[in-house]
Amino acid sequence: EPEVTQTPSHQVTQMGQEVILRCVPISNHLYFYWYRQILGQKVEFLVSFYNNEISEKSEIFDDQFSVERPDGSNFTLKIRSTKLEDSAMYFCASSEVHRGSLYGYTFGSGTRLTVV
Amino acid sequence: KQEVTQIPAALSVPEGENLVLNCSFTDSAIYNLQWFRQDPGKGLTSLLLIQSSQREQTSGRLNASLDKSSGRSTLYIAASQPGDSATYLCAVADYKLSFGAGTTVTVRA
């Protein structure tokens, strides 16, 4: 079964440093998303991406964050100047149809980001 | 703003019992509802997807119902096994997925 692949599985970074989280969505999916889950809290939406543009973003997704599809397979989330409160599990997801309306979303296994 | 609530927050049952997990949401204008399983520290595994026009969806021992007008979904797991121990998340889709906090299930052998 096709998978969404995320790397690394765990990243530790110093406060103030930049991190890039990487994702390889399912190959025939056109819509890509980032979600995050702070320990003990709900999974929350960050951003959706289609056709090399952000489609929607949440209030969490401020200027500290950016997304990019640098080539035909990768989808990245960059966090500039990380803060302690950015520590969370970050999930990449993809869908074949807009907003997962027909077939739902497929999630990756996540990157656990720890900011120290 | 869509709010998703899952009750109960935790459930512990002996092996073989049936499980009933509840999910409610505030805005019925959704595309679909998806149930996920999450093991500790792991990713989200999709279990069932119910379109907004459907009432029910089944996969093996799992059955999910949807009553969109009342903003409710129920996940039934028949004949529970210790391997079913995990957190089960309900998520409703409008322009994004909105997740509940989950029900943590423990099945005792």
* B95:A99 CB<8 A: yes
Mean pLDDT across B58-67: 97
Which pLDDT score is estimated for A100?
Answer: 67
Q: Per-residue pLDDT tens for B81-102?
A: 999 999 999 999 988 899 999 9
Q: What beta strand segments (E) does A25-64 contain?
A: 31-37, 43-50, 53-57
Residues of A in contact with B89 (CB under 8 A): 43
Report the C-alpha gap between A64 and A61 in whole angstroms. Answer: 7
Report the C-alpha gap between A88 and A40 in whole angstroms. Answer: 10
In this complex, the residue of B31, B41, B96 whose CB is nearest that of residue A48 is: B96
Structure-derived torsion over alpha carbons of residues B102, A67, B96, A46, reported in degrees to the nearest 10: 50
CB pairs < 8 Å spanning A and B: 63
* A44:B99 CB<8 A: yes
Among the listed residues A75, A74, A92, the one whose alpha carbon sits nearest the alpha carbon of residue A35: A92
> CA A38, B34, A52: angle at the middle one, nearest 5?
70
Q: Per-residue pLDDT tens for B1-59?
A: 899 999 999 999 999 999 999 999 999 999 999 999 999 988 999 999 999 999 999 99
Task: Residue count of chain B, please give it.
Answer: 109
CA distance B1 to chain A (A): 12
Report the C-alpha gap between A76 and A90 in whole angstroms. Answer: 11
Q: Which residues does A contribute to its contact with B (CB < 8 Å)?
A: 33, 35, 41-45, 48, 56, 58, 89, 91, 93, 99-110, 112
Residues in chain A predicted with pLDDT less than 70, given as ranges, are 99-101
